[in-house]
């Protein structure tokens, strides 16, 4: 028998009881106003639970055991549409009236329809040629917001000794500022070329693509001796999948269908710090 964590910003006791009955539960333990742990759940009902949770607007996660958060070693996250609320490149393009063109390529890449992320990024960045570098600061100040629960997730992970890694197919202008703001241990992203105060439409150096994201996570996991069971990796797009395969706690956050299908867990309605309810924070 397993533990089943149910979460929703609008958790209904009636819906919880329906699922508890479906999985022949031994009991229900409240974890707070938005989460419960169902004890002794029958995991063979997982597909039925998935369908019920989709209808009831709840997130679910089955576990054989609930581990201590401090037993994890790495929290790895994507940036655009995962840690933050926007796709930065789309918003930069909007400053130049080119958002529709760029966003269409972004969406196709995140859905996995464009297999070569580096090629898609090159095409999108080319459309930024001539945009004033000041547009980056405008996007940061006016449009970029952390997704709900991001600060608490990262602060709690750090408190429990988990190393935090931000790996993005986006740009260092944003990752570096987020690293400073949140105290992230490491971040990797792409460098936009700027000359005479304007974007040239090119990326400096090798593009950080899906393989690059996975490689950065592998490097850190080797340094720390982290096994997949000690890694949490959160993403939303197809270029996160290779990184997420190195983590047992692979989490699809508001993700594209291809990511939902391949991740071990999903957060479709709950905030990022809902991950914390999968662990014990103390004995």
Distance CA 64, CA 46 (A): 13
Catalytic, out of 26, 42, 64, 80: 80
Instruction: Note if 80 is an active site residue.
Output: yes
Beta bridge partners of 251: 234, 265
Closest to 3 (Cα-Cα) out of 223, 266, 20? 20
Distance CA 113, CA 95 (A): 26
Closest to 37 (Cα-Cα) out of 58, 67, 7? 7
Closest to 121 (Cα-Cα) out of 216, 238, 253, 250? 238
Helices and strands, counts by H and E, the chain: 11, 11
Q: Is the Cβ–Cβ distance between 233 and 250 less than 8 Å?
A: yes
Catalytic, out of 59, 78, 209, 236: 78
The side-by-side arrangement of strands in the sheet containing 59-63 is 27-32, 35-41, 2-7, 59-63
Q: Is the Cβ–Cβ distance between 168 and 175 less than 8 Å?
A: yes
Give the DSSP H/E element, type plus range, for residue 195: strand 186-195
Half-sphere exposure of 78 (CA within 13 A, CB side): 33
Other CB atoms within a 10 A radius of the CB of residue 24 amount to 13
Closest to 140 (Cα-Cα) out of 178, 167, 114, 103? 178
> Can you list the positions of beta strands (E) in 42-185?
59-63, 74-77, 163-171
Q: Phi, psi at residue 243, to the nearest 5°?
A: -65, -45
> Which residues are identified as catalytic?
78, 80
């Amino acid at each position: 028998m397993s533990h089943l964590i149910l979460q929703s910003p609008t958790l209904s006791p009636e819906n919880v009881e329906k699922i508890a009955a479906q999985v022949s539960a031994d009991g229900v333990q409240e974890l707070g106003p938005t989460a419960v742990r169902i004890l002794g759940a029958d995991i063979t009902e997982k597909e039925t639970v998935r369908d019920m949770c989709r209808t009831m607007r709840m997130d679910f996660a089955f576990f054989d055991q609930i581990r201590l958060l401090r037993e994890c070693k790495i929290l790895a996250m994507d940036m655009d549409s995962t840690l933050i609320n926007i796709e930065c490149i789309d918003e930069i393009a909007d400053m130049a009236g080119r958002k529709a063109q760029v966003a269409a390529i972004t969406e196709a890449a995140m859905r996995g329809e464009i297999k070569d992320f580096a090629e898609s990024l090159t095409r999108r960045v080319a459309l930024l040629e001539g945009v004033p570098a000041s547009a980056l600061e405008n996007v940061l100040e006016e449009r970029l917001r952390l997704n709900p629960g991001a600060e608490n997730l990262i602060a709690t992970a750090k408190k429990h000794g988990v190393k935090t890694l931000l790996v993005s197919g986006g740009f260092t202008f944003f990752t570096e500022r987020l690293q400073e703001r949140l105290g992230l241990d490491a971040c990797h992203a792409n460098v936009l070329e700027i000359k005479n105060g304007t974007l040239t439409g090119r990326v400096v150096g090798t593009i950080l693509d899906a393989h690059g994201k996975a490689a950065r996570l592998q490097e850190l996991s080797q340094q720390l001796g982290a096994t997949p069971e000690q890694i949490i990796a959160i993403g939303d797009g197809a270029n996160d999948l290779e990184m997420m395969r190195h983590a047992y706690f692979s989490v699809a956050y508001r993700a594209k269908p291809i990511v939902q299908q391949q991740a071990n867990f999903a957060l479709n309605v709950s905030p990022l710090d809902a991950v914390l309810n999968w662990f014990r924070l103390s004995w």
